[in-house]
């Protein structure tokens, strides 16, 4: 039977569980290099607050590395080439190159791997392949948040070529027993999974959750667990929060170090420097009606401007003076460095041919970051009748109307189900042309921006940090 731990009592048990798998405090390096692997369609930027929490507990920034998979979406059928998407083998090999580079740079003998969702598939595939080929692997710990280890669906004959099919060859190969006990994970790596009790959209017994349709998926809430791993359950968290939330960080830190972090909040820095990439998105070449799909490719030629903005009051979101940073993006897609004022809110303006001029408003940055990834929007056909478009987005989690305290322009965000972590964004479509302040609040985080005219090809994005 799989060991399962739940909050709020999981902390003490997790300490004991770590000891049972080996005392990590005896390692020569108390802060081993960590490689973070984002999920399907996501980017390295989602690990930003996780970086900050590790740094706030003494982890050197040089030992924190996040891959940024150029084509982060899985293929519909893993065995068939599909433009703009990656196979499980390509994903695994990309991760291997990053691990090899981190080992060379740091001189470490092993890394820690932390993955969210699809990122966990690549981690498992890399470890299993390495063990099969060489009998060893340069990994000490593997932490998987919300990884659909037994599939998003698991019904015989249903899309079994897809890497998320529980009855498909990819997952059945990973889950094959590794020892006489039937464990699904192999040593000497120490394994941990983190899952929600019932709020992970990709670990649901009903395919139509939260509005049940009665069509079973063949999986359940415990689908992310693995036999032989330490399996942690955090009530109420959503799919992305299995990796990017404070409780997920605490569980991860304890598992790696064998002791509690000193702090869960983020320690501010006196000097903040920001940099990252400007990336694009495209139209799926296999289906022109499918709309935008994400990639992490550089967007050369894009223009970036950064403005300080008023944090509150009647002029909330209004620019303060001239742009503080102006840059035309080169072939590598990189932007920065930009020396920011700690905890000062900013507006990032990205303009590129074929995209809407996108005004991204962010809360103040308490610490430096080199994974600030900016992506311009396209205006969807369904939204073209609106005079102004404001998008509230939460990259590191979902917007749960039954759980979260949130407002967009003084009202509940539109388009969300009454409960459940299903959607990461909400749109406010306005039929007015005069620019004005638009404010948002999410569980205590407040940010403000300005509305812009969609007829001029401009879109507002309010991006939640937490």
- At the fourth CATH level, which superfamily is domain 4-257? Alpha/Beta hydrolase fold, catalytic domain (3.40.50.1820)
Instruction: Give the residue from 439, 217, 142 showing the smallest Cα distance to 314.
Output: 439
Please name every residue paired with 461 in a beta bridge, in sequence order, or none if there are none: 360, 391
Please determine, for residue 7, whether its predicted confidence score (pLDDT) is greater than 90.
no
Q: How many CA atoms lie within 13 A of 144 on its CB side?
A: 29
SS3 93: helix
Backbone angles phi, psi at 163, to 5 degrees: -70, -15
Report d(CA 352, CA 282) in Å as an integer.
Answer: 13
- pLDDT for 465 equals 98
| In the chain, % of residues over pLDDT 90 | 88
Write out the two tokens for 274.
Answer: 């920001």
- pLDDT for 314 equals 86
- In the predicted model, what is the mean pLDDT of residues 141-150? 98
pLDDT confidence tier of residue 186, bands split at 50, 70 and 90: confident
pLDDT confidence tier of residue 185, bands split at 50, 70 and 90: very high
- pLDDT for 4 equals 46
Please determine, for residue 285, whether its predicted confidence score (pLDDT) is greater than 50.
no
- pLDDT for 64 equals 98
Please determine, for residue 28, whether its predicted confidence score (pLDDT) is greater than 50.
no
On average, the pLDDT of the chain sits at 92
Report d(CA 190, CA 35) in Å as an integer.
Answer: 15
13-22, 199-208, 335-344: the lowest-pLDDT one: 13-22
Backbone angles phi, psi at 385, to 5 degrees: -80, -15
**Residues 94-108: pLDDT tens digits?**
999 999 999 999 999
Q: What is the pTM of this model?
A: 0.93
- pLDDT for 304 equals 98
Backbone angles phi, psi at 132, to 5 degrees: -70, -35
- pLDDT for 107 equals 96
SS3 36: strand
Residue with tokens 């740094």: 55
Task: Give me the residue spans of the domains in the chain.
Answer: 4-257, 272-463
Report d(CA 213, CA 354) in Å as an integer.
Answer: 39
Please determine, for residue 27, whether its predicted confidence score (pLDDT) is greater than 90.
no
Report d(CA 12, CA 310) in Å as an integer.
Answer: 44
Report d(CA 365, CA 396) in Å as an integer.
Answer: 15
What Å distances lie between residue 459 and 288, 303, 388, 394, CA to CA? 22, 15, 7, 16
- At the fourth CATH level, which superfamily is domain 272-463? Carboxypeptidase-like, regulatory domain (2.60.40.1120)
pLDDT confidence tier of residue 187, bands split at 50, 70 and 90: confident
Please determine, for residue 412, whether its predicted confidence score (pLDDT) is greater than 80.
yes
Write out the two tokens for 209.
Answer: 């959750």
**Residues 230-279: pLDDT tens digits?**
999 999 999 999 999 999 999 999 999 999 999 999 999 999 999 999 99
Q: What is the H or E stretch that residue 53 is in?
A: helix 48-56
pLDDT confidence tier of residue 293, bands split at 50, 70 and 90: low
Please determine, for residue 19, whether its predicted confidence score (pLDDT) is greater than 90.
no
Beta strands across the sheet bearing 303-308: 325-328, 303-308, 346-351, 357-362, 458-463, 388-393, 425-430
């Amino acid at each position: 039977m799989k060991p399962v731990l739940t909050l709020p009592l999981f902390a003490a048990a997790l300490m004991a569980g770590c000891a049972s798998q080996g005392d990590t405090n005896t390692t020569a390096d108390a802060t081993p290099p960590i490689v973070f692997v984002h999920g399907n369609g996501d980017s390295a930027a989602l690990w930003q607050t996780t970086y900050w929490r590790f740094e706030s507990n003494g982890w050197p920034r040089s030992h924190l590395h996040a891959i940024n998979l150029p084509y982060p979406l899985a293929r519909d059928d893993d065995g068939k080439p599909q433009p703009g998407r990656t196979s499980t083998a390509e994903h695994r090999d990309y991760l291997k190159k990053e691990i090899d580079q981190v080992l060379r740079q740091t001189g470490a003998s092993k890394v820690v791997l932390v993955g969210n969702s699809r990122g966990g598939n690549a981690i498992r595939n890399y470890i299993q392949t390495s063990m099969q080929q060489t009998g060893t692997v340069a990994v000490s710990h593997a932490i998987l948040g919300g990884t659909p280890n037994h599939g998003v669906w698991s019904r015989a004959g249903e899309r079994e070529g897809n890497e998320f099919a529980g009855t498909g060859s990819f997952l059945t190969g990973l889950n094959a027993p590794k020892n006489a006990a039937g464990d699904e994970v192999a040593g000497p790596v120490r394994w941990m999974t983190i899952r929600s009790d019932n709020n992970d959209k990709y670990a649901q017994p009903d395919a139509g959750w939260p509005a049940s349709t009665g069509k079973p998926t063949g999986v359940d809430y415990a689908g992310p667990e693995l036999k032989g791993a330490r399996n942690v359950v955090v009530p109420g968290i959503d799919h992305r929060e299995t990796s990017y939330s404070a409780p997920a960080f605490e569980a991860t830190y304890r598992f790696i170090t064998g002791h509690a972090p000193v702090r869960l909040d983020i320690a501010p820095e006196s000097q903040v420097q920001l940099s990252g990439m400007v990336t694009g998105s495209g139209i799926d070449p296999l289906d022109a009606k499918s709309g935008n799909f994400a990639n992490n490719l550089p967007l050369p030629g894009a223009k970036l401007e950064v403005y300080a903005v008023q944090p509150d009051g009647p002029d909330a979101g209004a620019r303060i003076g001239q742009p503080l940073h102006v840059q035309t993006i080169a072939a590598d897609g990189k932007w920065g460095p930009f020396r920011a004022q700690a905890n000062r809110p900013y507006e990032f303006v990205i303009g590129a041919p074929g995209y809407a001029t996108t005004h991204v408003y962010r809360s103040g940055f308490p610490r430096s970051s080199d994974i600030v990834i900016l992506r311009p929007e396209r205006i969807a056909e369904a939204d073209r009748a609106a005079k102004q478009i404001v998008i509230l987005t939460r990259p590191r989690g979902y917007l749960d109307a039954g759980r979260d305290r949130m407002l967009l322009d003084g009202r509940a965000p539109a388009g969300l189900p009454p409960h459940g972590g299903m959607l990461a964004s909400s749109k406010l479509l306005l039929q007015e042309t005069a620019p004005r302040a638009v404010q948002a609040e999410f569980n205590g985080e407040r940010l403000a921006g300005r509305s812009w005219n969609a007829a001029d090809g401009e879109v507002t994005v309010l991006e939640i940090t937490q």
